[in-house]
Amino acid sequence: MPGAGGVDEVEPVQQSSINWANEEWVVEIRNELDQLLRDSTALEPYSKKGSIYKVPDLLKNLNCKAYEPQMASFGPYHYGKEHLMPMEKRKHTILLDFLRESGKPLESYVNALAPVVQDLKDSYDALDPRWHADTSGFLKLMVQDGCFMLHILDRWILYELYLLGSLETASIRRDMLLLENQLPMLVLLKIDQVRNGGEPREKFIQDLVLGSWDLWSHEHPLMGKCLHVLDVYRKALIWDEKYVSIAALSVKTFQLWSAIELTEAGIRLKRSFSEQKGRIAFNANDGVLTLPRLEVDHVTESTFLNLIAFDGLHVGDLPGEVTSFIYFMRQLIKSPRDVRLLISSGILKNGIGSDEAVVQLFDSLSKEAPMLNQCTSKMYHDVYIRILLYRRKPQNRLRAYLVHAYHESTNWSPLAYWSILAAILLFILSFLQTWYTLYPYYHPRK
């Protein structure tokens, strides 16, 4: 019945006559809760250990090929698939070559990984029970795939991949950046440690990965603890030390202006060369937006979709940063004119053909990764706010209006600029002709 204030009165909770406390499922959950309360570290496996995930069907159904290896499997998720078996024979050959060059026996590598095998298993968020039961088989897989991956990284830097063809190598490098096809970084560190007979070389492994994808710089800092190759690639795109401690995404997405629209407002686009100063920044004093160099090729879509999937599934440092970066670039690239401008600024390298193809690629990302349009990180929100305040200045708003109106009136024709130059030249010539005509009249010769 409604109360005096028009609000329904809440009836008191009635006690059941059945004692549910002794039900099996109630007792089981209560015991699990007691265990968690006794040992707070028991929560860790649920939040931190897993780092290699199975991509949800929600994403796979939109573009399943983007998440599937074409040439080689790394780790257990895709091991044994028929179309990948030919590369397993090549892996064995490369393993023998790796052991010969290192001069260390196979058992040294197995002994290095055996003490941490449970940590390696825990890295896989959806590991099949058969791998939990078959520790020996799992160790064999880690050793063989780890040596194979290090061989690819080593030889790519030295241009000595003589055991693999160029087509095979390109496909394998694409497969190395798939979320479901990762090896725990601990595997590479342990194998490299045995190989060099010293301490773990975390910076060395990171530099191998960065160099293999042309992301390396002598100024690049150690990017914290990286979980696998895809994580190194991810952090290389967006690493900024001052934003590492930001806990979560808290800002809705915004509609940024295209590259052309920014230049119309007097903003200059420049490539960022100093990774230590952050990968993206806007200086309101001189109106310069700096962005990292981005190479777009035939594997960019697959790589970006896997980065977005990892960003959405993993709980860790720099949450959502790479998704925000891709969204930021998608906002900049809205037409072929934007692509040409970014190429001329040294920010974009087009390796897939026409400028229109680049636009279509970034358009497809928003369709194949729904979370791309949901939120943005604080780093990019801060940049957006600075640009917004810069554009709101009266002189910049007037400039943007006039330049845009001119471009629209000339239909962005390159000939329009020549017509302006011709008009200016004609004006100068007319002025000089008038001056030479009038000068003798006012200054006659004596």
Q: Is residue 16 part of a domain?
A: no
Q: Is residue 276 part of a domain?
A: yes
- One domain for residues 212 and 330: no
In DSSP terms, 289 is beta-bridged to: 269, 282
- One domain for residues 267 and 303: yes
Q: Mark which of 194, 218, 238 sits at the end of a domain.
A: 238
- One domain for residues 309 and 336: yes
Q: Is residue 22 part of a domain?
A: no
Contact by Cβ (8 Å): 365, 326: yes
| Distance linking the first and last C-alpha atoms of the chain | 115
- One domain for residues 162 and 219: yes
- One domain for residues 221 and 140: yes
Q: Is residue 322 part of a domain?
A: yes
- One domain for residues 389 and 368: yes
- One domain for residues 128 and 199: yes
- One domain for residues 428 and 284: no
- One domain for residues 275 and 373: yes
- Residue 316: which domain range? 243-406
Contact by Cβ (8 Å): 321, 311: yes
- One domain for residues 195 and 104: yes
DSSP, residue by residue, 222-291: P-S---SHHHHHHHHHH--GGGTT--S--EE---PPPHHHHHHTT-EEEE---GGG-S-EEETTTTEEEE
Q: Mark which of 205, 238, 271 sits at the end of a domain.
A: 238
Q: Mark which of 213, 238, 263 sits at the end of a domain.
A: 238
- One domain for residues 316 and 230: no
- The pTM assigned to this predicted structure is 0.78
Name the burial class of residue 254, with classes exposed (0-12), middle (13-18) and buried (19+) by CB atoms within 10 angstroms of its CB: middle
pLDDT values of the chain reduced to their tens digit, one per residue, 446 residues: 555 555 556 566 565 566 667 778 888 888 888 876 766 444 444 345 789 999 999 889 889 999 999 999 999 999 999 999 999 999 999 999 999 999 999 999 999 999 999 999 999 999 999 999 999 999 999 999 999 999 999 887 666 666 677 788 889 999 999 999 999 999 999 999 999 988 889 989 999 998 888 776 555 556 678 999 999 998 887 766 555 545 444 556 667 889 998 988 889 999 987 654 446 889 888 889 998 888 899 999 999 999 999 988 887 666 677 888 888 888 899 999 999 999 999 999 999 989 999 999 998 887 777 666 555 666 777 888 888 888 887 766 666 556 556 555 555 555 555 666 666 777 787 777 777 776 666 667 66
Q: What is the rounded distance in angstroms from the CA atom of residue 308 to the CA atom of residue 322?
A: 7
Contact by Cβ (8 Å): 186, 119: yes
Tally of domains in the chain? 3
- One domain for residues 141 and 92: yes
**DSSP annotation of 176:** T
